[in-house]
Structure 1
Amino acid sequence: MTRVFVALGANLNDPAAQLRAAQLALTKLAAPGSLRHSPLYRSRPMGPADQPAYVNGVSSFDTLLSPHALLDALQAIELAHGRVRKDERWGPRPLDLDILLYGELQIRDERLTIPHYGMKQREFVLYPLADLAPELVLPCGTPLARLLQDCPPNGMIRLPAQ
C-alpha cells in the first residue's frame, strides 16, 4: 500500500462540480478509509490568460495500484468527464488529474514524472497539499513548508466548503 497525492483542477463545465465528481471517482482507487481531500481553491489560469479561472484541490489516499496503473485510472476518469487531450499546454479543460507524489518514489520516463515536474512552483498545488500534509517532506528532502515560503498565493482564493 502506497500513499499518493493527486492534484485536481478544472475550469470548464462547472469546475467545482467536476472536482467533486472526480473526488467521488477516486474512491474506487483508494484503500477504504484512506481518501482525504483538501479544500478547493479558485486560482488564476496558468498559460493563456483568456480562459476562465481554475478550481484546484489535492486528494491523498493509499493505493495498491502501480504508478502507471494509477496514471491510466486517472486518465480514464478525465476522459469520462469530457477531457480531450490536445497539443495545447495549459489550456482550458473540464478536468485535470496529476499524480504529485507516489510515496517516496521518483520516476522519470516517457509517460510519467514523479514527483510532478511543476509542483514546487505552483501555489494551486502547494497550498492544498499543505492543507492535507503540512509536515510533508518531498522525496528530494525539501520540506513543503520551505516551498510555501517562496510561493505567494498569487490571488488564489479558498472556496467555502460545500
Structure 2
Amino acid sequence: MAEIYISIGSNIERERHFQNGLRALIERFPDYRHSNVYESEPVGFSGRNFFNSVFAATTSLNVEQVCQILKQIEHDNGRTRGDKKFSPRTLDLDLLMYDDLICELPAQLPRDEITKNAFVLLPLSEVAAQVKHPVVGETIQTIWQNYHNPSQKLWKVEL
C-alpha cells in the first residue's frame, strides 16, 4: 500500500466544489486523513481567495491510476484542461507525494509547491508531520517550522 498526499483547492463556487471534491476522494480512498481547511489569497494572480487542504490516504493503485482519478474528479467538477497555470479553479487536486517516489511523469513528485506555498505546507504538516520529504530529507513538520514567507497568509475556516 502506498501513502498518498493530495492538495485540494478551489476558488470558484469554492464551498460547493471543495466539498464535492472531498466527497469524491473519500469515496475512492476511504482509508484517509484530512487536514483543516484554510482560506488563502491566490498566488501568482489576482482573484478570489481559495479554500485549501490536504487529503492523505493509502492505496494499492499505482501513481498513474491515482493521477487519472484526480483528473476525472476535477473534470466532474467543471475543471477544463488548458487553463493558465495561475488562474481561478473550480477544483484543483494535485498529487503532492506518493510514498517517497521522485519523478516528473505522470506528475512532478514530490510536488515543488510543498516547500514554496504555505497553503500546501501547513495542511500537509497536519497529516504528514513525521514524513520525510524525499528530496529535502527533512520531515514535513521541520520544513513547516523553518518556513518563512509573510506574504502568504492563511485563515482556518469551518465548512
TM, length-normalised to structure 1: 0.89
- CA displacement 1:101-159 (0-9 Å, x = unmatched): 101111123x3111012221110001001111222211121221332122346221011
Match of 1:146 among 136, 142, 146: 142
> Is the Cα–Cα contact under 8 Å of residues 23 and 37 in structure 1 kept in the other structure?
no
1:26 maps to 25
| Aligned counterparts of 2:17 and 2:134: Cα–Cα separation in 1 | 30
Consecutive unaligned residues of structure 2, counting only runs of 5 or more, are none
1:53 maps to 49
Residue identity over aligned pairs, in percent, reads 28
2:129 maps to 134
RMSD of aligned alpha carbons:
1.5
1:159 aligns with 2:154: no
| Aligned counterparts of 1:4 and 1:88: Cα–Cα separation in 2 | 26
Consecutive unaligned residues of structure 1, counting only runs of 5 or more, are none
| Aligned counterparts of 1:24 and 1:85: Cα–Cα separation in 2 | 22
What SS does the corresponding residue of 2:5 show, helix, strand or coil?
Answer: strand
| Aligned counterparts of 1:6 and 1:28: Cα–Cα separation in 2 | 14
Please state how far the C-alpha of 1:87 moved relative to its aligned partner.
Answer: 4.3
Pairs within 5 Å for 1:28-43: 28-30=27-29, 32=30, 34-43=31-40
1:92 maps to 88
What SS does the corresponding residue of 2:27 show, helix, strand or coil?
Answer: coil
Q: Which amino acid is the alignment partner of residue 28 of structure 2?
A: L
Please state how far the C-alpha of 1:4 moved relative to its aligned partner.
Answer: 0.2
